[in-house]
Amino acid sequence: MVDLTQPAHLVAPQLLGAHLTCLVDGVRVAVRITEVEAYAGQGVDPGSHAFRGQTPRTEVMFGPAGHAYVYFTYGMHWCCNIVTGQVGEAGAVLIRAGEIVEGLEQARERRATAKRDRELAQGPARLTKAMGIDGTLNGVDLFASGSELRLEFAQVPSATFGVSARTGVGGAGASTPWRFFLTKDPTVSRLAPARRFA
C-alpha cells in the first residue's frame, strides 16, 4: 500500500505499474500506469495549478489524498491526477500514460484514430479519452466502495523506471525532475516542447 499522504514527488514513482480502472455506463476500462508527473503546491512549484493558491478549480488538490483531480485543458481535453499529501498542502500526480489491460475494444472505439494499441493511452488526454474519464469524476474517492474510478497498487522494482524533467512545463519549473516512467515501455508518451504555465 502506497502512502498517498506523502509529497507528490515521493508518491509518483510508486504509482508506476498500478492499475487505474474506470467504470462508465457499465463498461470497464483499466490501464497499467507507465508514466506520471508530480506537481507540488502553493508557492512551491511554479508548474502546478496550485502555485498561486486555492481556487474553485484547484480545491481538490488541497486534499484529502486518494481523490481524483480531473481538469479540462486547451478547451478540449481532460487530464486525470491523483491527489497526494496532507490536507491543506496541495499536491497531485498526473497520470501521463498507460497500457490498456482491460476493456481494449471499448478503448479502441473511443480512440478510433489510434494506429496501434500502444497509442491508445499514450499521453494524458488520450488516456482519459480511452478510459472515459471526464469532469464528472473530479473529486472522486479512488478507494471508496462503488467508486467509478479506482486505483489498485502494484510493486515495480526501482531499476525499471526512469526520471526526467516534466514534459511541456516551461519557466521556473522546467528543469524539475518529477517525471517518472517505466523504461523501454512502448506506451510511454513522447516528450512535448516546453511551455510556460499560465
> What's the rounded Cα separation, in Å, for the pair 145 and 155?
23
ω into 56 cis (within 30 of 0) = no
CB 104 within 8 A of CB 92: no
Domain ranges of the chain: 8-182
What digits encode the pLDDT tens for the residues 49-84? Answer: 888 889 999 999 998 999 999 999 877 899 999 999
Question: Which CATH architecture fits 8-182?
Answer: Roll (3.10)
Predicted pLDDT at 171: 79
For 19-172, list the strands marked E by DSSP.
Answer: 19-24, 27-39, 68-73, 77-83, 92-102, 149-152, 161-164
Report the SS3 class of residue 95: strand
